[in-house]
Amino acid sequence: MLIVQKFGGSSVSDAEHILRVANRIVQTVKAGNQVVAVVSAMGDTTDELIDLSTQITKSPPSREMDILLTAGERISMSLLAMAINELGVNAKSFTGQQAGIETTEKYGRAHISGVVPDRIMKTLDAGGVAVVAGFQGVHRKTNDVTTLGRGGSDTTAVAIAAALNADVCEIYSDVDGVFTADPRVVKTARKMKAVTYEEMLELAASGAKILALRCVEYARRFGVKIHVRSSFSDNEGTFICDEHEVGRIMKEQDLEAPIISGVAHDSSESMISLVGLPDVPGIAAKIFDEVAKHGINVDMIVQNISKSVSGRSDISFTLPQSQAELGARTLLEVSRELGGPEVHLEHNVGKLSLIGAGMKTNPGVSARFFSALNDAGVNVEMISTSEIRISVVVSLDDLDRAVKALHTAFELDSVEDEAVVYGGTGR
């Protein structure tokens, strides 16, 4: 098999961890596989580099920031290649540029525009391991170094797996896989055997931190099978693949594909409401045009008949807490042009999502969803749905209780004898 293995910063935090990762790679090679290893910067290196830059300037040029941050992966990749060589297997490290990771010129959050993995293939053909710096690429036209932004190293791994038509892309971190809910909130959460790309996308968009949205999107587009697993154990983790493959994996394990795959929650958003808008066409366009101009990332949007002013409507939306003040200021300006509807900013909210590919073909899911919340005494402030997801905004104080209630109502709780491993405590 041709396997891409990606190791996050906590898996390579010091020399000892790097040797442990090298050992896993060497075992994989000795089992008869070809391996490309993608690696993040060691532990806190990236934060330390950012800290250095802030000691010099509040507004670093993004080109310089990118080349600064890529130093971290240069260090971890060469050390990992040394460690693999030390264990008797040939390994060569490659920067993003050397690995042929070509990107757009958008510093800080460049997109991969192409992968030319000639040197990786040459290394594999010669029986060696290719170690690739994650998170970075090169803009061919300028020959300038770029970074891929959040989840960048995962995306590097998936992009290389796609370019090489690898059998699987293993993403190693300090968690054991994807769970039916955050085990820190729901003690009875279970590790899933497999989820579809669509479910994982909804999970990621709904607050699950396991994989970045873009990485899953890339994998879906190119049909890359992802295996999320822990670098601290040999346990199988969670496969992310297409519906057909999920079915195959569940069948292999004598399991039925579940209707609901999990519950996700997100407490990092705020909610802004505009109350008493004139009910004329183009109002929403006007509002979200202004919001977009200020670079604000809107998540859920709900519009309905105003609760407080008859003949008028209300619009509410959620946005990252970090942009909440900017959002409120922007909306107050817009409000002046729109005859002064009230602007409310609410920080004390949480988002709760139920995700499952089986929702499409199973009526009655939403009824069960809302009655479970009702029984738990949770009041719903906003609702939004997709084919395979129901999301609601509730009071932050109710969030954990609501997550548990849904997890139980949809029979996701683990049976007693099933061990749940979470965090770096495995094996």
- Contact by Cβ (8 Å): 300, 206: no
The least CB distance from residue 100 to a copy of itself, in Å, is 10
The least CB distance from residue 162 to a copy of itself, in Å, is 23
Of 82, 72, 160, 76, nearest to 120 by C-alpha is 160
> In 301-364, which residue ranges form alpha helices assigned H by DSSP?
324-337
Q: Which residues pair with 395 in a beta bridge?
A: 349
> In 277-362, which residue ranges form alpha helices assigned H by DSSP?
283-293, 324-337
The C-alpha atoms of residue 36 and residue 77 are separated, in whole angstroms, by 12
CB within 8 Å of 64: residues ≥ 6 apart = none
The least CB distance from residue 308 to a copy of itself, in Å, is 50
**CB-nearer residue toward a copy of itself: 71 or 298:** 71
Q: What is the DSSP letter of 267?
A: -
**CB-nearer residue toward a copy of itself: 97 or 238:** 97
- Contact by Cβ (8 Å): 392, 382: yes
The least CB distance from residue 120 to a copy of itself, in Å, is 13
Count of alpha carbons within 13 Å of 286, Cβ hemisphere only? 16
Of 289, 290, 296, 341, nearest to 318 by C-alpha is 296
**CB-nearer residue toward a copy of itself: 72 or 183:** 72
The C-alpha atoms of residue 271 and residue 318 are separated, in whole angstroms, by 4
Q: Does residue 138 come out as left (phi exceeding 0), alpha (psi in the -120 to 50 range) or beta?
A: beta
The C-alpha atoms of residue 339 and residue 186 are separated, in whole angstroms, by 46
The least CB distance from residue 94 to a copy of itself, in Å, is 9
The least CB distance from residue 75 to a copy of itself, in Å, is 5
**CB-nearer residue toward a copy of itself: 72 or 258:** 72
The least CB distance from residue 67 to a copy of itself, in Å, is 5
**CB-nearer residue toward a copy of itself: 111 or 119:** 119
**CB-nearer residue toward a copy of itself: 55 or 310:** 55
**Contact residues for a copy of itself, defined by CB under 8 A:** 14-15, 18-19, 49, 52-53, 55-57, 60-61, 63-65, 67-68, 70-72, 74-75, 77-79, 81-83, 85-86, 92-93, 95, 97-98, 119, 143-145
- Contact by Cβ (8 Å): 358, 246: no
Radius of gyration of the chain (CA): 23
Number of H helices, E strands in the chain: 13, 20
**CB-nearer residue toward a copy of itself: 15 or 280:** 15
The least CB distance from residue 240 to a copy of itself, in Å, is 32
**CB-nearer residue toward a copy of itself: 53 or 395:** 53
The least CB distance from residue 128 to a copy of itself, in Å, is 11
305, burial (CB in 10 Å: exposed 0-12, middle 13-18, buried 19+): exposed
**CB-nearer residue toward a copy of itself: 19 or 420:** 19
